[in-house]
Structure 1
């Protein structure tokens, strides 16, 4: 039940409980939303509806899998960076982002003269040699619109989590 004292669209105590129940990931269960709901006294449909509402209000950006590529055997994780003609970077970026081996692709501003790259695409493979054809395929799709590129290889995972709320009732830095 929503908190009647909360402003319209503001999260209520149940929203925060749902965030806390899912912030470390969904349970490995054939019906993960039902399992979360059971712990909170909600139905599976209520959990899904609340998460969708929080997403629509901009409280949640997305709900998705966050794989640990290293544990899955994908040790060659490279952020490919490309210096692409600004006139066609958006169209080409859409094509690159649609490739099955690209996990994410986005445009970023250049920082000349030291950083000419404006298109970034993450690739994953078991070895650097296995990733080479992926990089070559991206280069072929970019064609003459690409002036230069590089691959920045990951050496470790720095962060794989989003926001973490403290347990209910525990003060945060902002409230102390």
Structure 2
């Protein structure tokens, strides 16, 4: 990373300012205009230095308190195609493949579902089950009991 890219990451790693013109606000902190911030972030995305720029909602504060990680035991030969289909469903925020861990944890597909009540999540899980059939051997829903602060890599300071 260049010194400017490092300074940009440091300035934005806790999030963009919640103002009408966030890139201009970041630019003011770094002594450049907002266009330069946008261009640098776009280049960093293209180069793979930054994975994504997006909002991270607090589901609990938005009233979505019945959040369930549904875990599925899916035939490995079909998991990639099925996972791609599941990721497009409206209630799914995360969908990814994970390794199995023996007989005590046979699940290889994780699908995060959100609802205001558990009945909503369970209805979504039935929709997932219908899409996965006949390639699914079992599943569970693991409900969240608290929200954890999500953060990415943090740099110690601008160089």
Q: How far did 1:123 drift?
A: 0.7
In the alignment, structure 2 segments of 5+ residues that lack a partner are none
Q: How far did 1:158 drift?
A: 2.6
2:131 pairs with 1:141: yes
Q: Which residue of 2 aligns with 1:105?
A: 95
Q: How far did 1:72 drift?
A: 1.1
SS in 2 for 1:125: coil
Q: Which residue of 2 aligns with 1:31?
A: 21
Q: Which residue of 1 aligns with 2:34?
A: 44
Higher relative contact order (CA 8 A, sep 6+): 2
In the alignment, structure 1 segments of 5+ residues that lack a partner are 1-10, 170-176
- Taking the aligned partners of 1:12 and 1:57, their CA distance within structure 2 comes to 13
Aligned CA distance change for structure 1 residues 145 and 166 (closer, same or farther; 3 Å) = same
1:120-155 alpha-carbon deviations (Å, 9 max, x no partner):
110111111221111111111111111100011111
- Taking the aligned partners of 2:62 and 2:20, their CA distance within structure 1 comes to 21
- Taking the aligned partners of 2:31 and 2:61, their CA distance within structure 1 comes to 34
2:81 pairs with 1:91: yes
Q: How far did 1:93 drift?
A: 0.6
Q: Which residue of 1 aligns with 2:153?
A: 163
TM-score by length of 2: 0.92
* Aligned pairs, number: 159
- Taking the aligned partners of 1:168 and 1:97, their CA distance within structure 2 comes to 36
Pick the aligned partner of 1:18 from 8, 31, 52.
8
RMSD of aligned alpha carbons: 1.5
1:48-85 alpha-carbon deviations (Å, 9 max, x no partner):
12112222333211111111111111111111100111
Structure index of larger Rg: 1
2:45 pairs with 1:55: yes
